[in-house]
Homo-oligomer: A and B are copies of this chain.
Amino acid sequence: MTHKIAILGASGYTGAELVRLIATHPTMEIAALAANSKAGQPMAAVFPHLRHLKLPDLVKIEEIDFDGIDLCFCALPHATSQAVIKALPKTLKIVDLSADFRLRDPEVYAKWYGGQHDALECQAEAVYGLTEFYREEIRGARLVAGTGCNAATGQYALRPLIADGVIDLDDIIIDLKTGVSGAGRSLKENLLHAELSEGAHAYAVGGTHRHLAEFDQEFSAIAGRPVKVQFTPHLLPANRGILGTVYVKGDPEAVHASLACAYANEPFVEMLPFGQHPSTRHIRGSNFCHVGVTGDRIPGRAIVIAALDNLTKGSSGQALQNANLMLGEEETTGLMLAPVFP
């Protein structure tokens, strides 16, 4: 049986990444592609790398007949997403890639995203989409909220450690390096090639990045008490990939054991041997996350490093992994593409 898929927001990078992945998915078929600003155009005009595919032309969202759709990916900007999803049929399965349904507490949403949430009833039923930790809820969910790509990276490094109580909860630092595609296809001076290549800088320094809201929500829930991490993202001159270097206080062997145990049977999270560390170039274009641990020369301190591709495991690959579950497919279907190196 083939599942009919719609993608809303198909003119952005995460939309295009969904199409790339679904292109070789054996039981999904793209039935509709929406991008209001480019409606009427063929997808190949917007993303020439997809020109070999037979794809429906881009349409406006309101032109889609959702009766024929089994699952809808929503790759729209936050705020836009909630308005659109609110208006979709209440029985339609949806994987949302925006920030709109990640935060359970509407006041937290309002604080970090600067406005009241307008689809509270949808938010109430949304399941947080970090597959490895919400697998069963996702299987039964109608609406799944994809995680932030940075938020996913930090959580792969830290969730088992918090759950197992092997680290000091009050002294966690996430120093993260991210590729530029995470910022999307938006026209900003600081995303120009001439501004970004051959250099690096930090942004949202001091605890102002919105993905902190996800860290706070998830880590506090696991710990059963408030947990606040330090988080400093940096922009790399690379298109894809996030490297999260996480500094924790705890026994390094216990830290490694906790993570190794958590991911022993996970198809997409690869635990490296103690003392080895991942590189973003070894997960590029794939749904894999690599995690490594080393002890510092200062006893009782460990460095955990996690790497994933922001567009795949951090966004569209995760979304497809969740969609597989929601549609009763094998979780890994269409997602075992090996990383592209070099």
Contact = CB atoms under 8 A, between A and B. Distances in A.
Rank and list the top 3 A-B pairs by shortest CB-CB distance, nearest first: A207-B297, A199-B281, A201-B279
B49 A294 contact: no
Contacts of A298: 207, 228, 230
Contacts of A275: 205-206
Interface string A274-304: 0101111111111010100011111001010
Interface string A114-147: 0000000000000000000000000000000000
A195 interface: yes
A99 B134 CA distance: 51
A275 B247 CA distance: 23
Contact of A197 (B205, B237, B294, B297): B237
Interface in A165-211: 171, 173, 175, 177, 179-181, 185, 187-189, 191-203, 205-208
Contact of A239 (B187, B311, B342): B342
A229 B230 CA distance: 18
Categorize the interface residue count of chain A.
Answer: 35 or more
Given A193-B196, A298-B228, A202 B243 contact: yes
A177 B236 CA distance: 10
This protein's copies in its complex? 4
A342 B50 CA distance: 12
A243 B200 contact: yes
Contact of A24 (B193, B194, B337): B337
Given A193-B239, A238-B199, A239-B194, A341 B206 contact: no
A101 interface: no
Output the residue of A201, A275, A305 with the most chain B CB within 10 A.
A201
A241 interface: yes
